[in-house]
Structure 1
């Protein structure tokens, strides 16, 4: 398997669970070589606080999302999902171009029950997250399923670009877990400094899109990561798979 600067952590763990026949592999070395395109400018902190409040508001209600992201070496991923933090329910389908990720990965979380399967598989594999170490790369954090909370904590500067727009810079150094792209957390951000982002909101103040632009360390190109949000506050129907379509994860995931 070829190595890249990305650590596909949580999603790689699911892929191995779905395999059901081999012990977990050690993840690749952490850290990335992404570099800052330019120094941080000086901006009004009140705008940053305003943006953070808008992002945090999204976490308080059910919502749906899509994600589309460039990865290194020309790889990419895209997908969609739905989140209800208060009800502790989540579902997603992520499609990737290759590398260490399966082509299609589906996940459903109901409380501490995590179900995952590769595209084409008929059976889901259930993992009890209350028994999985938070340090395991198979662990799934239902408090921050798409990496939005971690992104919010990295917002360093922001300015308004219009009545429904913001631009700014985020600094993910110090975040120990992968959270990029938002919507399919798979990339550690060590070494990123002053990386730009853009946010749009609707007429009600709900965040509708988040776009990050990173510099690819391998070919000096740009990696664009875009997450869209919709259906804010609308009820979601997220149910566990039928018991007849579910297998239990191997015991080694609880070691």
Structure 2
């Protein structure tokens, strides 16, 4: 059995990698999303519900994909377990960053993540032997199995193909939608697929809520996943903003980087 610290470390890495880098996807039509127009992104998309809710929501997800964006994400799993993350993404440069607070097993720690291409840099507010807490730990993503911790480099926030999994959807108000998705239809990393299998039939009718702003972008997405195996039911909410605005994400200076220790790399084996 893994030690408490090992379990917590795995949770930190999984959470950080899964939700870091909002929307690194490309538009399904092959183009990048257009820069945002001026105005409030949280404003209502229309004054009244539209006739084709599925098409409207699909268009909003497609517009979200590909452009720079800031995001805030939370997950709540009960029993005092959850994550809070804020960050930004620049898909054109394959650059993503995020700062996270993780609460689990009665402990609260912080994590910072920078991903540029296949290079991953990580800081943990958790003591590790031989690690300078002021420096970034480097992990070569091209030589590790990041997907085992729930990270899909092509879809870091698991939004790609979301609309393909929609079973039911209705517009409940101006820019507001709710419905269900069949998570078995989603192309997720191996770890996510295993959890979906443990959900049983409930995985085919997972409720979600989404909002679309006046500019046509998805501004929030909430998914309420049922319990799976030893994991309790989880509510995951992500909000998106600053569409098309400049994002500055770069690799840390060489002097501020150290190799990741073997104990950390073992989490990716």
* TM-score (ref. length: structure 2): 0.67
Q: Is the 8 A contact 2:147 2:191 kept in 1?
A: no
Query: Is the CA contact 2:76–2:236 (under 8 Å) kept in the aligned structure 1?
Result: yes
Q: Which runs of 5+ in 1 are unaligned?
A: 15-43, 181-185
Q: How does 1:46-125 map to 2 (within 5 A)?
A: 46-99=52-105, 103-119=109-125, 121-125=133-137
TM-aligned CA deviation for residue 92 of structure 1: 0.9
The Cα offsets for residues 199-237 of structure 1, whole Å up to 9 and x where unpaired, read as: 111111111111122344799x86432111000111101
Q: CA RMSD in A?
A: 3.8
Cα distance, 1:80 vs structure 2: 0.8
Quote the residue 2:195 is aligned against: 188
The separation in 1 between residues aligned to 2:115 and 2:159, in whole angstroms, is 17
- How far did 1:247 drift? 0.9
More helix by share: 2
**In the alignment, which residue of structure 1 is the partner of 2:174?**
163
TM-score between both structures, scaled by the size of structure 1:
0.70
Cα shift at 1:132: 2.3
For 1:123 and 1:49, how far apart are their aligned partners in 2? Answer: 46
Find the aligned partners of 2:211 and 2:15 in 1 and give their Cα distance: 31
Q: Secondary structure at the match of 2:247?
A: coil
Structure 2: gaps (5+ residues): 18-49, 127-132
> Paired residue for 1:225, among 217, 229, 236?
236
Structure 1 match to 2:14? 11
Whole-angstrom distance in 2 between the partners of 1:102 and 1:243: 29
Q: Which structure 2 residues correspond to residues 194-233 of structure 1 after superposition, within 5 A?
A: 194-216=205-227, 223-233=234-244
